[in-house]
Amino acid sequence: MSRDEELVERCLAGERDAWDDLVLAYSRYVYAICSQGYRLQGADAEDAFQDVFLRVYDRLGTLRDPAALRPWIAQLTRRVCLDRLAAGKREEPLELEDTGIDSTIEELDEAFAVREALTELSAECQEVLDRFFGRDESYRTIGEELGIPSGTIASRISRCLARLRERLTAGDATAGRNEGGSPSGEVGT
């Protein structure tokens, strides 16, 4: 059973921690689609973000294929963002839909797969890579926060990236691993 299938099963069984886990697992992805894909900012981005998770919470039981959780959430997020843009009477949505959104979401899907592979590395590697790349922290800040010499951060990052690359390559070798299905797994959105 994939992580997503397990998450959905636990949520539908009413496990309170499961919902927290689902939000944590997808918060960056939803945020990225809203802010990078549709360029929503400030209150618009926040409202869209909350609306997406409200819809996920309300409609999770209609998801036929729990393995398709990621594309289903992507589709919900796109719909929420387009609704919000339309409500604001902006002119960008159709243009964005036609030109850039699909490729942006493809890249975000790839980024999501990389982050999933990251969770399989040591806690130290996860921490260092997330601080440096995800949170844009400097070597000095990372060194101070983790209590390690800042002069060693670059080599740690390089070593962890090599491990991440190995993990991704190993994942490719076992083809078919959690492709994520299609959003057609839903009953209704």
Partner 1 sequence: MSYDEEKLGELLRMLSPAPEAWVRAAQELPTARAALDDLVARAEADAELRRRILDDLEAVLAAEGLEPGSALLAELRDRLTG
Least Å from the CB of residue 132 to partner 1: 8
Nearer to partner 1, 49 or 65 (CB): 49
Q: With respect to partner 1, which residue has the nearer C-beta, 114 or 148?
A: 114
* Shortest distance (Å) from residue 108 CB to partner 1: 6
Q: Check if the beta carbon of residue 171 is closer than 8 Å to that of residue 50.
A: no
DSSP string spanning 40-80? Answer: --HHHHHHHHHHHHHHHHHHGGGBS-GGGHHHHHHHHHHHH
- Burial zone of 171 (CB within 10 Å; 0-12 exposed, 13-18 middle, 19+ buried): middle
Residue closer to partner 1 (CB basis): 184 or 189: 189
Q: Which is nearer to partner 1, 56 or 67 (CB)?
A: 56
| Smallest separation (angstroms) from partner 1 to the CB of 173 | 11
- Both tokens of 98, joined, read 């036609």
Structure tokens given for 168:
């991704």
Closer residue to partner 1, CB minimum distance, 95 or 133: 133
- Interface residue list for partner 1 (CB under 8 A): 16, 19-20, 23-24, 27-32, 36, 46-47, 49-51, 53-54, 57, 107-108, 110-112, 114-115, 118, 129-130, 133-136, 158, 161, 164-165, 168-169, 172
The answer to whether residues 108 and 38 touch, using CB atoms and an 8 Å cutoff, is no
Least spacing, CB of residue 59 vs partner 1, in Å: 13
Nearest approach in angstroms of CB 91 to partner 1 is: 23
- Residue 2 C-alpha from the chain's centroid: 16
d(CA 48, CA 1): 30
The tokens for 160 are 């962890």
